[in-house]
Structure 1
Amino acid sequence: MFDWYQFTGWFYLIFLLTAIPVAFMILLEKRSPYKTAAWIMVLILIPIFGVLFYLIFGQEYRKRKMFSVRGLKMLKILRLNSSRQLREFEESPYNEETKAHENVIRLLLNNSNSLLTSGNELEILKDGEATFTSIFEAVKKAKHHIHLEYYIYDNDDIGKQLTELLLKKRKEGVEVRIIVDDVGSWNLKKKFFRRLRENGIEIYPFMEVRFPRLTSRVNYRNHRKIIVIDGKTGFVGGINIADRYIHGLKKLGPWRDTHLKIVGDAATSLQLIFTADWYFVSGQKLEQKQYLPPFSEAPGTPVQICAGGPDYDWEAIAQAYFASIAGARKKVYIATPYLMPPPALLQALKTAALSQVDVRIIIPEKSDAKVSMWGSFSYVEELLESGVKIYFYQKGFLHSKYMVVDDCLATIGTSNFDFRSFETNFEANAFVYCRDFASQLEEHFLEDQKNSRRIKLSQWRKRGWFFKLRESLAHIISPMY
């Protein structure tokens, strides 16, 4: 006969022996009050399972340096170069456009050793078709090496086309190295890896998740989308290797995304990110000049490539966004698929809007992730109340990740405007200091705005109670994403 009282007693004993020590661990980590409260609530509401959930998804690794790659010689050189650039910037703050945002430039030099490069030509790629056409053309011209690092690499039509091209280039003697995120590219089969390796292509998954080994790191994903060709041509942005980025999805419609092509010194900065990640996954150091050519310092568009992730001491991309928004005088235009800003960035947006800065944010009305969509919606009312203009994209699914601030600061990259990208994922963003480039990206934003509907505060407050309930529940757990 089942003894309910005995079962209850054992249950509470196990709960006391697990949940309370974990709660103390969370408190000692000194996270933001929002994250701490969210995790403790999970421990209370989901006894025992909440502990397992925390051990798998919730542990903080930034302070523990578990992903440190600072033994790499090139990163030491990078730190020395960033210190030199800081001194040079004190003496000669470059041109008027960089001078206008010197606080952001100095910040990125300090928090992530992001060098300011000048010899760059940039091209904004407005969708998957333009992006893959440009990537395929650049790959075909490769002479020495091709490096790819992707969150999602699907073995669908576009993935197979790229794979066949890479195999062809390898036969021509071009070195090919690939990093794929183990969770994002979960559908890749062993035979896919085996075929590439048998044909001389080096490929590694980023932080394999094999139960029970490494389950504590499943939450820390490589969200970067990087290609570097011969050290001087690079790509970064929101587009992964998958058919959906060209054809969209039936339930969502066309896929609206933004990518960036770089020719010049900033591509070498992307290469530095790749070489650090390659060292992490393979133990191999790529420090020769053919991989990392010296900066030309030639005339061109000023760019800083910023890497973010738990392998850095600071949340570099989030800090750069905060400094950019806080320093805005005229406008802040943001496009993002997920809008779940950490408290500091939420405050920065509201403060800018209340200071009569023109703050506009475009998010998709339909999303590929329901909980993230409800979480995004949960911030809309608070932002509208402060004067931020919110637009819901109508022409399919908006997956672009970019921002324009005032007249000559813009950023395109892999990071969403949410907790996960700013605090947990491995990301990469290009920060560009150029009036012409910012103007071009603003045109893309205004075009996206035309394909969106503006949300009015009075209208938004009339949504149903069930809608509000879903938002509230998603809002509570948003710091844990």
Structure 2
Amino acid sequence: MALTWTIIRWILLLVIFVNEIAAIFTVFREKRDIAATWAWLLVLTLIPVFGFILYAFFGRKLPHKRLELIKSQTRLKLKQALEEQKLQFINMPKPKDQTVQVYRRTIMLFQSIDDSFLTRHNNVDIFTEGNALFKKMFNDIAAAKRSIHIEFYTIYNDKIGNELRTLLEQKAAEGVEVRVLYDSWGSMGVRPSFYDHLREVGGYAAPFLMARSNFFDFRINYRDHRKIVVIDGEIGYVGGFNIGDQYLGRLPKFGPWRDTHLRIVGGGVYSLQRRFIGDWNASMKKQADKIFHYHPYFQPVRVRGNVALQTVSSGPEAPLEKIKMGYLRLINAAQDHIWIQTPYLIPDDSILDALRVAAHSGIDVRIMIPSMPDHAFVYRATQYYARDLANHGVTIYYYEKGFLHSKTMMIDGRMASVGSANLDFRSFKLNFEINAFIYSQTTVDDLEKIFVNDIRNSRVITPQMFADQSWWLRFKQTASRLLSPIL
């Protein structure tokens, strides 16, 4: 018996030794930031063998060829097409436009890192509730004459998902060009055959940059988290809503769904169109399925709105974390207040320090997060950072009327960001995201009124309330925080 236990101990020691060597090799063979490196080393070390299963889902990077595909398509040469149509909105703002003059450096930042044009004459509508959003969106789709381009992280096979598919099939049968790009993981449970009839009547549908099935490509990271709709090259939608019944408040688990989405008419649609074309071409294996003639999708601007904006996209194919840099720029430019809504508050050190500095500088920093979890580890990490920021003078709100999924940032009543990117590592480094950065006192005022109204459905969580939490809850928060670079 003693000999048997000795053999077992030696086997266990050998397994641990091999596991440690394999963990070091696995983590350090790919270039990644130091926080993620140590987080994965912790996982692989503390969870022998099974840690590698987690790594297979969460840790593997996209193949180099796929990153090159999306990178090459990001460099679509559309500037010439825009110039040929003499689109005046690409000019720098006029001196009399005070709001955009204040944020001139921010505008230049986005032009430099993302070739993002400032567009000054947009009409923008804000939607915070799914029924109103989808009614307007579906009406716009039904009125389409030339093209319908749709890109979502999630399109579910449920009531609203089937309503959209049926509408798209009708438009494709009418001869309208219909292209649907979806994330295979975000739309989990939806088989490729879901779009068979759409293809039969002349439409297109494909998963973003991935294999046809998650069975062959089961990475959970590096997902297409963008939400883009472009209709006839003239009307665009961007924001936080996906396509599914839960986004209409139909799932008891979440209750009413609180999100923020924009409808844009004007020059701002061009950047959404460009982003969709780049993502579509990168996802197509056949040359015949790609878009090569850009001009039909960039129609002359027919509106004279008063909202200036830029749309900025980011993803793991780029060396710069563009949207995060935008968030940093906004936070550091604030003079009076910073109001944020995010379902996931897991900032890296640069964002965390910027928020601390702002709060200690007397700036009114408010952050609203959900009062309920949809992912356990993510929610506990969010609570950890909320507790930290509360201790530095940031006002933390728990939104209690359903699930808060809105990703907004408002600065000084003059500038705002609305889009798909959360305030977390995943949106900064791992996912493909897109945000609209808005320079308009009127629109930002509307967003801030919405925030104030949401406060009525929230409660403030004070530093003392965080301190009074049970030791077990605080332990879970701290433990989850250790994994924050890979959540």
Q: TM-score, normalised by structure 1?
A: 0.92
CA-to-partner distance for each residue in 1:410-465, whole Å, 9 max, x for gaps? 11101111111111111110001001011000001101111100111112200101
Match of 2:18 among 6, 10, 14: 14
Q: Is the 8 A contact 2:410 2:417 kept in 1?
A: yes
Q: Which one is further off, 297-306 or 248-257?
A: 297-306
| Whole-Å separation in 2 of the counterparts to 1:94 and 1:22 | 56
Match of 2:176 among 153, 162, 174: 174
Match of 2:284 among 282, 285, 300: 282
1:146 match: 148
2:433 match: 427
2:206 match: 204
Match of 1:134 among 117, 133, 136: 136
2:313 match: 307
After superposition, the CA RMSD in angstroms is: 2.7
| Whole-Å separation in 2 of the counterparts to 1:402 and 1:194 | 36
| 1:88-167 → structure 2 map (5 Å cutoff) | 89=92, 95-167=97-169
Shift of 1:288: 2.5
Structure 2 unaligned regions, length at least 5: none
1:478 match: 484
2:47 match: 46
CA-to-partner distance for each residue in 1:33-69, whole Å, 9 max, x for gaps? 4323212211221233334433542245699982443
Q: Is the 8 A contact 1:65 1:310 kept in 2?
A: no
1:25 match: 29
What is the aligned residue count? Answer: 475
| Whole-Å separation in 2 of the counterparts to 1:168 and 1:211 | 29
Q: Which one is further off, 387-396 or 52-61?
A: 52-61
Cα gap change, 1:132 to 1:103, in 2 (>3 Å) = same
SS at 1:118's partner residue? strand
CA-to-partner distance for each residue in 1:140-199, whole Å, 9 max, x for gaps? 110001010011101211111111111111121111000010001111124312222122
| 1:188-227 → structure 2 map (5 Å cutoff) | 188-206=190-208, 207-208=210-211, 210=213, 213-215=216-218, 217-227=219-229
| 1:249-260 → structure 2 map (5 Å cutoff) | 249-260=251-262
Q: TM-score, normalised by structure 2?
A: 0.91
Is 1:351 the equivalent of 2:357?
yes
Cα gap change, 1:69 to 1:79, in 2 (>3 Å) = farther
Is 1:378 the equivalent of 2:346?
no
Q: Is the 8 A contact 1:117 1:304 kept in 2?
A: yes
| 1:322-401 → structure 2 map (5 Å cutoff) | 322-401=328-407
SS at 1:69's partner residue? helix
Q: Which one is further off, 68-77 or 100-109?
A: 68-77
1:291 match: 297
| Whole-Å separation in 2 of the counterparts to 1:285 and 1:410 | 32
SS at 1:119's partner residue? strand
Q: Is the 8 A contact 1:401 1:415 kept in 2?
A: yes
Q: Is the 8 A contact 1:326 1:348 kept in 2?
A: yes
Q: Is the 8 A contact 2:81 2:295 kept in 1?
A: no
Q: Which one is further off, 39-48 or 202-211?
A: 202-211
Cα gap change, 1:255 to 1:465, in 2 (>3 Å) = same
CA-to-partner distance for each residue in 1:20-40, whole Å, 9 max, x for gaps? 3234336xx361x43232122
| Whole-Å separation in 2 of the counterparts to 1:8 and 1:204 | 46
For 2:472, give the aligned amino acid. F
| Whole-Å separation in 2 of the counterparts to 1:423 and 1:62 | 16
SS at 2:77's partner residue? helix
SS at 1:148's partner residue? strand
Identity %: 36
| Whole-Å separation in 2 of the counterparts to 1:78 and 1:36 | 39
Shift of 1:263: 0.6
2:243 match: 241
Q: Which one is further off, 92-101 or 306-315?
A: 92-101
SS at 2:185's partner residue? coil
Shift of 1:374: 0.9
1:66 match: 67
Structure 1 unaligned regions, length at least 5: none
Cα gap change, 1:88 to 1:201, in 2 (>3 Å) = closer
For 2:157, give the aligned amino acid. N
| Whole-Å separation in 2 of the counterparts to 1:232 and 1:78 | 18
Cα gap change, 1:435 to 1:189, in 2 (>3 Å) = same
Q: Once superposed, which parts of structure 1, at least 4 consecutive aligned residues long, lie more than 6 Å away? A: 62-65, 79-82
| Whole-Å separation in 1 of the counterparts to 2:293 and 2:369 | 40
Shift of 1:5: 3.9
For 1:342, give the aligned amino acid. D
